[in-house]
């Protein structure tokens, strides 16, 4: 039972109701990253076109952003479109490229009001201009906000990101700005698009797929993973809380050993 795993500060296991574990407010993950998957299957189950699933998934984005904010999560990264998703049928890609406008057109005032800062990782340059404009506008409108960072991974691929980082470091070496011996892990971390963000503490992937699909390969080195069969449009506050409850029961050792296990 989940609620048995979750202990409030005083050590007492409690649950507000069956679905909602009591979370330890002192161990809320700072950065939660989500691979939002299963929109197509959600639609197929209802004999709807795939794009209906993407549209429904947008409502989950709103719900989960609000809940992340309420829980005190600092960064929420949402994988919205991968560098491989261009392989999809053109009408589906075109629909997906319209979603940021629709989402931000509807919810930007709410995000501004909630002090949310919108950010983006991914190849911004090769997005259709209307998509890029919507995202730029949202980033500008929320640039001074210092609440939850809502980070969209859009036209994002981790291998492309790492390749670009290697290229920029190689250039610095070639131009004698740094020596090859100076290259270290923090330099690589700093050359990624996530340079200013903490590493994800918790990765969630919906829809039952258990793979990374080219998502944050460097950044997830010590992240806790949680997978659920729930399809993204069906994902909700309770499932997010469940994921965090499991996260809170995990023991992050980072390669070390627990104190009580030292000889
Ligand atoms: C996730 O849902 C959204 C994107 C990848 C853009 P999918 O569209 O991958 O849904 P499934 O995996 O086909 O069900
Ligand atoms: C990963 O989902 C990308 C996003 C959620 C944006 P996919 O549905 O594209 O991944 P695969 O094809 O199942 O690996
Ligand atoms: Mg998928």
Per the annotation, does 196 bind a ligand?
no
CB 103 within 8 A of CB 136: no
Average of per-residue pLDDT across 158-167 = 98
Of residues 17 and 242, more confidence is placed in: 242
Residue where the block lists tokens 């090769």? 126
Would you say residue 41 lies in a domain? yes
Residue 43, pLDDT > 90, answer yes
Would you say residue 86 lies in a domain? yes
Residue 2, pLDDT > 70, answer no
- The pLDDT value recorded for residue 19 is 61
Residue 6, pLDDT > 60, answer no
Catalytic residue among 37, 151, 155, 201: 37
Centroid of ligand 3 to alpha carbon of 38 (angstroms): 5
Residue 5, pLDDT > 80, answer no
Task: Report the number of distinct structural domains present in the chain.
Answer: 1
Q: Domain with 41 in it: what CATH number?
A: 3.40.1180.10
Confidence of residue 262 (pLDDT cuts 50, 70, 90): confident
Of residues 3 and 27, more confidence is placed in: 27
Give me the residues paired with residue 109 across strands. Answer: none
Would you say residue 146 lies in a domain? yes
Range of the domain at 143: 26-157+199-250
CB 153 within 8 A of CB 76: no
Average of per-residue pLDDT across 169-174 = 98
Give percent above pLDDT 70 in the chain: 93
Would you say residue 245 lies in a domain? yes
Residue 3, pLDDT > 60, answer no
Give the separation between CA 130 and CA 205, rounded to whole angstroms: 28
Query: Which residue has the CA at smallest separation from atom 9 of ligand 2?
Result: 85
Of residues 183 and 263, more confidence is placed in: 183
Would you say residue 14 lies in a domain? no
- The pLDDT value recorded for residue 18 is 59
Would you say residue 192 lies in a domain? no
Give the separation between CA 47 and CA 54, rounded to whole angstroms: 14
Cα atoms found within 13 Å of the Cα of residue 220, Cβ hemisphere only = 20
Ligand with an atom nearest the CA of residue 78? 2
| Helices and strands (H, E) in the chain, number of each type | 8, 6
Centroid of ligand 2 to alpha carbon of 228 (angstroms): 15
Q: What confidence tens digit (pLDDT) does each residue in 68-112 have?
A: 999 999 999 999 999 999 999 999 999 999 999 999 999 999 999
Would you say residue 55 lies in a domain? yes
Query: Which residue has the CA at smallest separation from atom 3 of ligand 1?
Result: 37
CA gyration radius, the chain: 20
Average of per-residue pLDDT across 238-242 = 98
Would you say residue 181 lies in a domain? no
- Average pLDDT over the chain reads 93
């Amino acid at each position: 039972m989940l609620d048995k795993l979750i202990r409030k500060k005083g050590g007492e296991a409690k649950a507000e109701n069956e679905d909602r574990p009591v979370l330890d407010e002192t161990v809320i993950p700072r950065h939660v990253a989500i691979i939002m998957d299963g929109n197509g299957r959600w639609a197929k189950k209802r004999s709807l076109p795939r794009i209906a699933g993407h549209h429904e998934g947008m409502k989950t984005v709103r719900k989960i952003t609000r809940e992340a904010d309420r829980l005190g999560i600092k960064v929420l990264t949402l994988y919205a479109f991968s560098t491989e998703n261009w392989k999809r049928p053109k009408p589906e890609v075109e629909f997906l490229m319209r979603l940021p406008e629709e989402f931000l057109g509807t919810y930007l005032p709410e995000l501004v009001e909630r002090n949310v800062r919108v950010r983006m990782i991914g190849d911004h340059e090769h997005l259709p201009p209307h998509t890029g404009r919507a995202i730029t506008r949202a980033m500008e409108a929320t640039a001074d906000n210092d609440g939850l960072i809502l980070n969209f991974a859009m036209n994002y691929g981790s291998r492309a990101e790492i390749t670009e980082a290697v290229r920029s470091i190689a250039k610095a070496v070639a131009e004698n700005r740094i020596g090859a011996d100076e290259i270290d892990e923090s330099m690589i971390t700093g050359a990624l698009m996530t340079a200013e963000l903490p590493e994800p503490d918790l990765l969630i992937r919906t829809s039952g797929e258990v793979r990374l699909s080219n998502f944050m390969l460097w950044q997830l080195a010590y992240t806790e993973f949680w997978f659920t069969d729930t399809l993204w449009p069906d994902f909700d506050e309770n499932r997010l809380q469940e994921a965090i409850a499991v996260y809170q029961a995990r023991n992050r050792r980072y390669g070390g050993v627990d104190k009580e296990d030292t000889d």
